[in-house]
Chain A
Amino acid sequence: MSIFVDENTKVIVQGLTGGQGRFHGVRNRDYGTKVVGGVSPKKAGEDVEGIPVFASVKDAVAETGATASFVVVPPAGATAAILEAAEAGIEFIVCITEGIPAHDEAKCFNTLKEQFPGTRLLGPNCPGIISPGKCNIGITSGDIALAGGPVGIVSRSGTLTYQALHELTQAGVGQTTCVGIGGDPVPGTNFIDCLQAFEADPDTKAVMMIGEIGGSEEERAAEYIKTHMTKPVVSYVAGVTAPPGKKMGHAGAIISGSQGTAQAKMEALEEAGVSVAVNPTEAGEKMVAIVRGL
């Protein structure tokens, strides 16, 4: 099994007719994902390499029965696109857009929470989600993932996610689902949401969690792992040497005062019984050893 998305997930792409939307939408389809449509108000009736384009998410859902959406829309229009998808009944929204103002994200997140509690948002500013061999929504390269489990991956960073997938795949260790939750301060889906889903998924036997400086999501995840998880967790937290007060590439990766340091996160995770690695390679090695011992 996998979490959130599988071989039956029908996906539409909001922004399919743009450069990035076309590239990733077609790539996801070619991977085997059921990409059933695209949305572009001005290009309804056309198609992108065989993928039909609709005027609105509502139309696309009515025609195709899609339950998931991939939002590839520039920052100024991204949160409106997310809310349009939620209004049309989409249950799972992946938004890769980087550079959305924090206040737009905060309003969007709370609107979803209050008015569309059945909709899950992944991102923004994330690489997306891949259940290898079944479904790939986002920008992750499908060929660095390996189907068949037993490892679930959840990460705040794109390239470190690829690195983790690569290390496991090289060692012949497969993945159930790899979720990139993104590097913004208001993520739609957090570590705990994913840990909970991995804990409930019978095919996931171990979880790799990749965090970074900023906020307190890793500390909260540690508390959850300690009290709710039976499966082994390996973790790596980036930014041990990051200076305070600077946004390290991701809008959410900032140490504020004494809050959000990598050291505090690593300590909390270790205290929760998580196997904490000091670099991504070691995280891969630790996970391979755990899987071999299962």
Chain B
Amino acid sequence: MDLFEYQGKQYFARFGIPVSPGGEADTVDEAVAQAEAIGYPVVVKAQVRVGGRGKAGGIKLADNADEVRTHAGNILGMDIKGHVVRRLWIESSSDIAKEYYASFTLDRPNKVYLGMLSAEGGVEIEEVAATNPGAIAKLSIDPTVGLDLATATKWVADANLDEEAREQTAELLVKLFTCYVDGDCDLAEINPLILTTDGIVRALDAKVTLDSNAEYRHPEWEVWSATDTEDPREAMAKEKGLNYIGLSGSVGIIANGAGLAMSTLDVVNQVGGSAANFLDIGGGANADVMTAALEVINADPAVKSIFVNIFGGITRVDEVAKGVIEALKRVDLKSPIVLRLDGTNAEEGRALLAEHLNDRLVAEPTMLDAARTAVAMAAANEGGSK
């Protein structure tokens, strides 16, 4: 789960990481009320999960209520790289002396934690890594050991942070590390981490990705799950407990297993089509799961054909076939279905389906054949609807 800036800052605050005082606003009036409560000058910030907000005009300084009104009005509803702004974060303005960068993430090849600290913040860290890699002080952290203040103190010196910022930053880094580990983050990033003209170090932005596998031990994340997705298809799938990702093509995909589902998208693409979604129904391909999956795909107006790709391992194909037959009774589908069922008990499964097959329910022996048929059907369907 990727958090918005304001959510990330709320999470940081729980771990004692200094952030500017602020509040959220969904309307112009709310923005003004927040600004009045905080005191001017304030910064009006668009809440979108994409970089480059400032350049797009999504971050503006306001000295009074009229300016807040103007900026909030302009920013709400603004489209920033395909993300529509629905919420603002109003915070107390900071006088910035220096901009730094700090983050913790997993170093996958070495299976340890990686801390990155740079005196050159405020720009994309990938850019710094490409143009001036020496400006990033990397710290490898053993997950069984952690990060203590002494190590953090040496680290801020290695990164050449300004003398007056070092002590506060070292303390902040230990807190950010605690947030990263105890807070179950995949990524905890501050860019920029600022030193103000009056010598205070704090997080001016927050980029936090939470590990959804740890959701069971973080009831406090519940409040953020409502804003987790902006795609109504994904919201519907989540409600039904499905592992779904919305894409922009016309072939709806249902597969069992993450690898097979990914592979199905690839094969559809190889034969000239494009997938409308990723959907892994896992091992339990019974009638209820199949019904839920078909309902979500059926609700997507872009879907023109549906490709069900099942390889029976533990799940026997005859059980899957029964599930499909039952689901088709429950859902009134707009698009034709192509089935590819293989693996354990495939013959029994195909025999069960034989009498149900027609021009809206087609079975193909291989993944490639099924992909070709699904793509051809989508194209025909698209042509017909124009």
For the A-B complex, the count of residue pairs with Cβ-Cβ distances under 8 Å equals: 169
A213 within 8 A of B: yes
Choose among B144, B214, B260, B368 the residue that contacts A157 (Cβ–Cβ < 8 A).
B260
B278 within 8 A of A: yes
A196 within 8 A of B: no
* In contact, A249 and B278 (Cβ under 8 angstroms): yes
Closest chain B CB from A11 CB (angstroms): 18
Within 8 A of B (CB), among A244-260: 245-253, 257-258
In the complex, which residues of chain A have a beta carbon less than 8 angstroms from the beta carbon of B243? 249
A155 to B260, CA, bound (A): 12
B265 within 8 A of A: yes
* In contact, A103 and B266 (Cβ under 8 angstroms): no
A212 to B264, CA, bound (A): 13
Within 8 A of A (CB), among B264-303: 265-270, 274-275, 278, 280
Binds B, one of A31-39, A56-64, A275-283: A275-283
B226 within 8 A of A: no
A89 within 8 A of B: no
Contacts A107-B144, A139-B314 given; does A280 touch B263 at CB 8 Å:
yes
How many residues of A are counted as interface, with CB atoms below 8 angstroms from the partner's CB atoms?
64
Residues 99-134 of chain A, each 1 if its beta carbon lies under 8 Å from chain B, else 0 = 111110011011101100000000000010000000
Binds A, one of B67-75, B104-112, B198-206: B104-112
B5 within 8 A of A: no
In the complex, which residues of chain B have a beta carbon less than 8 angstroms from the beta carbon of A234? none
Closest chain A CB from B320 CB (angstroms): 12
A144 within 8 A of B: yes
Binds A, one of B251-259, B349-357, B372-380: B251-259
In the complex, which residues of chain B have a beta carbon less than 8 angstroms from the beta carbon of A242? 262, 265, 278
* In contact, B258 and A183 (Cβ under 8 angstroms): yes
B186 within 8 A of A: yes
In the complex, which residues of chain A have a beta carbon less than 8 angstroms from the beta carbon of B274? 241
Binds B, one of A2-10, A42-50, A159-167, A224-232: A159-167
A143 within 8 A of B: yes
A11 to B184, CA, bound (A): 33
SS class, residues of chain B in contact with chain A:
mixed
A124 to B342, CA, bound (A): 26
* In contact, A99 and B257 (Cβ under 8 angstroms): no
Choose among A75, A101, A158, A241 the residue that contacts B259 (Cβ–Cβ < 8 A).
A158
In the complex, which residues of chain B have a beta carbon less than 8 angstroms from the beta carbon of A107? 143-144
A157 to B262, CA, bound (A): 10
Closest chain A CB from B59 CB (angstroms): 22
A248 to B263, CA, bound (A): 11
* In contact, B257 and A160 (Cβ under 8 angstroms): yes
Choose among A101, A160, A217 the residue that contacts B260 (Cβ–Cβ < 8 A).
A160
* In contact, A248 and B344 (Cβ under 8 angstroms): no
The chain B residues found within 8 Å of chain A, CB to CB, are 2, 106, 108-109, 111-113, 126, 142-144, 181, 184, 186, 211-214, 216-217, 243, 245, 247, 255-263, 265-270, 274-275, 278, 280, 311-314, 342-344, 366-368
The chain A residues found within 8 Å of chain B, CB to CB, are 75-76, 99-103, 106-107, 109-111, 113-114, 127, 139-141, 143-144, 155-163, 166, 183, 185-186, 210, 212-217, 220, 236, 238-243, 245-253, 257-258, 262, 278-281
